[in-house]
Amino acid sequence: MAPGALYAPIDLRVQIIENCEFFSGPFAHISLVIAKEPLGAYKAIVLKAEHGKRDALLSESGPVLPAALEALHARSAEAVQNYIGTNGFAFFTPAAKNAERKRAAAGARRRDEDAHDDDNDDGSDSDSSAATTLDECESL
């Protein structure tokens, strides 16, 4: 028997939807639709419907349908890994997403301030500018 013959191939459609459900809210409805573009390529699109609103979550194109699905599967798997790296296996919560946005914004502000400080560095070690703390950023 050939290696791997004991295992059935995964259903990419089901796995893509399951991956996207993993990092979506508990009330999100995830669906996968396929569009055929004017020049003949296929576009696989994951849609998320939540709170009466529908948005595209992920999409990938390919010259044939299997290629589009394989690319979308890879993209959804990367999104799962990013979610796990940031949140572990915790359920998605809007509060966690807002906290993540605040941390990212605070980090971007610190990088901008550091770049500004480097541009205005006159060689002195004293700093008379006010520092923004993480606690101040959390209230934004």
What secondary structure does DSSP assign to 9-69, as a single string? Answer: PP-HHHHHHHHHHHTS-TT-EEEEEEEE-TTS-EEEEEEEEETTEEEEEEEEEESSHHHHH
Whether 92 shows a pLDDT value over 80: the answer reads yes
Count how many residues are written for the chain.
140
Q: What is the pLDDT of residue 14?
A: 96
Model pLDDT for residues 110-134, shown as the tens digit of each residue: 766 766 565 555 554 444 444 444 4
Q: Considering only CA atoms, give the Rg of the chain.
A: 22
pLDDT at residue 107, rounded to an integer: 65
Average pLDDT over residues 24-32: 95
Check residue 80 and give its pLDDT: 98
Q: pTM of the predicted model, to two decimals? A: 0.64
Q: What is the pLDDT of residues 47-76, one digit of tens each?
A: 999 999 999 999 999 999 999 999 999 999
Is residue 39 predicted with pLDDT exceeding 50? yes
The mean of the pLDDT values for the chain is 80
Ordered structural domains, the chain, with CATH = 12-89 (3.30.160), 92-117+136-140 (no CATH)
Q: With both helix axes pointing from N to C terminus, report the angle between 94-119 and 65-87 in degrees, rounded to the nearest 10.
A: 80
Sheet holding 53-62, edge to edge: 29-36, 42-50, 53-62
DSSP 63: S
Cα(30)–Cα(84) distance, integer angstroms: 19
End-to-end CA distance of the chain: 61
